[in-house]
Amino acid sequence: MDKGSESFKSAVSATVPGQRGFDYLIVGAGFAGSVLAERLARELGQRVLVVEKRRHIGGNAYDRYNDDGILIHPYGPHIFHTNSADIFDYLSRFTQWRPYQHRVLASVDGQEVPIPINLDTVNRLYGLNLTSFEMEKFFESVAEKVESVTTSEDVVVSKVGRELYNKFFRGYTRKQWGLDPSELDASVTARVPTRTNRDDRYFTDTFQAMPLHGYTRMFEAMLDHPNIKVMLNTDYRDIVDVLPWKHMIYSGPVDAFFNFQYGKLPYRSLEFRHETVPQEQFQPVGTVNYPNDYGYTRISEFKHITGQVHPKTSVVYEYPRAEGDPYYPVPRPENAELYRKYEALADATENVTFVGRLATYKYYNMDQVVGQALAAFKRLMQRHADAAQAGRDASPLAAAGRTPAQA
Ligand code: FAD
Ligand code: UDP
């Protein structure tokens, strides 16, 4: 980072002698970093510097209007859903919402059918007319017996059998992760349920909605506080030894923080191909998955998701990649073991709190990261309370067993 730049100078001027400098240095302006910045500044009056190496706030949830004036998600489609009223209420302080229920079709055997697999998926695929009850029997008849469900293959074949597994999950997973489902934890494909009814929503959470004016506006509202200073375009390593701070919140990749000393933690990357087409609609639903054809896993059309009305439409294709920005931790036993080594280092690093999807190597959705950040804030708040108490206890009056009022 250019030490003559305006943002560097203004951050330095915030720490001139006579002022307190920064209480917190927060690395990353995604959900993890922004929630903690907001809480620490608003609730505890802390002076916070948020350092973000990208040109924008919001992390992977960042959205913007493209040259045609269509609201897009540069890092892939982000749909907000949660079962937690606390998390939804918290974010509602910074945005209004547009109710939205995501629907996904999978392109299989020349048809576009609902995924998660439901009653209509099976009936349309096989030209049947089963009832929900008959569908349960059908699944029972094709399901494979699995002693203990540990892998992403086990989860699916034990519910819907090998044929549907091959049609919907095997190819998609191999493409997305570069691994066979049998090499991934059960938790990965378990994200996608199986239904015997006609519910074709991708998520069934209690709260499903999109920020009315987009994610970036929501992040702007979170970070809009006189105690919060945001430095974009800056790797924290460029300023960490220059600007004074007391405690760090780190939301980047945990292995990078420790200079890869135990080796690289595998992260899966994506390449996004954005296109705008001169027609009002491109596809019938927000996302169409391509488990068995093409180099991409899915195409998402933003106007379905954002509700925007526009004569053109913008879509994004996702091409999985081994190299590139880290987007997904890869849930499998050997990676969990390597992460545990980094976690032990993180636990031993007292003046740094690790929060977020990359820093804790967890395949978390946005709401889970918000929940994790709010929980971290509670622990930090307790620390502040304990320190204040210890300060009082250490005073001569407290040592004498008297409160100031009694003195
Ligand atoms: P991030 O958003 O990654 O933020 C971390 C920030 O730290 C980044 O901006 C990064 O630039 C910055 N940083 C890293 N290193 C440094 C450094 N050295 N110096 C300075 N800054 C640094 N979740 C949902 O709930 N619903 C969805 O529909 C959904 N769809 C998704 C689709 C895709 C393609 C992807 C990849 C993820 C999706 N997610 C979705 C998950 C969601 O993106 C994450 O849960 C959430 O954004 C994680 O927030 P975070 O703050 O932990 O990390
Ligand atoms: N998956 C699949 N076929 C699908 C949809 C999902 O095999 O049509 C598997 C795949 O391994 C994927 C995982 O389920 O990575 C989780 O899917 P989800 O849609 O939750 O992925 P994300 O939105 O996080 O990329």
Is residue 115 lining ligand 2, measured as CB closer than 6 Å?
Answer: yes
Strands 245-250 and 352-354: parallel
Which contacts (CB < 8 Å, 24+ apart) does range 165-172 have? 167/108, 167/109, 167/125, 167/291, 167/292, 168/106, 168/108, 168/115, 168/117, 168/291, 169/291, 170/291, 171/291, 171/292, 172/289, 172/290, 172/291, 172/292, 172/297
The closest residue, in CA terms, to atom 29 on ligand 1 is: 78
Q: How many residues does the chain have?
A: 407
Whether a cis peptide bond, with omega within 30° of 0, leads into 396 is: no
Average pLDDT over residues 52-59: 98
> Which of 86, 83, 80 minimizes the C-alpha distance to 98?
80
Instruction: Considering only residues 202 and 14, tell me which one the structure prediction assigns the higher pLDDT.
Output: 202
313-321, strands of its sheet edge to edge: 111-115, 104-108, 287-289, 298-301, 313-321, 267-277, 328-329
Q: Enumerate the β-bridge partners of residue 104.
A: 115, 287
As a whole number of Å, the end-to-end CA separation of the chain is 54
CA distance 96 to 77: 19
pLDDT for residue 352: 98
For the chain, give the percent of residues with pLDDT over 70.
92
pLDDT higher than 70, residue 8: no
pLDDT higher than 90, residue 276: yes
Q: Are 358 and 254 in contact (CB under 8 A)?
A: yes
CA distance 258 to 95: 36
Taking only the tens place, the pLDDT of each residue in 68-110 is 999 999 999 999 999 999 999 999 999 999 999 999 999 999 9
pTM metric for this prediction: 0.95
Query: Which residues are CB-contacts of 250 (< 8 A; sequence separation ≥ 6)?
Result: 27, 28, 236, 257, 352, 353, 354, 355, 359
CATH class in words for 6-63+214-265+330-391: alpha beta
Taking only the tens place, the pLDDT of each residue in 144-186 is 999 999 999 999 999 999 999 999 999 999 999 999 999 999 9
Going by the DSSP 8-state scheme, the letter that residue 167 receives in this structure is: I
pLDDT higher than 90, residue 12: no
pLDDT for residue 106: 98
Is residue 76 lining ligand 1, measured as CB closer than 6 Å?
Answer: yes
Average pLDDT over residues 250-262: 98
- CATH 3.40.50.720 location in the chain: 6-63+214-265+330-391
pLDDT higher than 80, residue 15: no
pLDDT confidence bin for 5, thresholds 50/70/90:
low
- Which ligand sits nearest to residue 73's alpha carbon? 1
CA distance 145 to 143: 7
Is residue 168 lining ligand 2, measured as CB closer than 6 Å?
Answer: yes
Give the Å distance between the CA of 223 and the centre of ligand 2: 32
Give the Å distance between the CA of 81 and the centre of ligand 2: 16
The closest residue, in CA terms, to atom 12 on ligand 1 is: 28
The closest residue, in CA terms, to atom 3 on ligand 2 is: 169
Average pLDDT over residues 310-323: 98
Amino acid (one-letter) located at 171: G
Average pLDDT over residues 4-32: 73
Kindly give the residue spans of alpha helices, DSSP state H, lying in 203-292: 215-223, 254-257
Taking only the tens place, the pLDDT of each residue in 221-245 is 999 999 999 999 999 999 999 999 9
Amino acid (one-letter) located at 298: R
> Which of 95, 113, 92, 93 minimizes the C-alpha distance to 104?
113
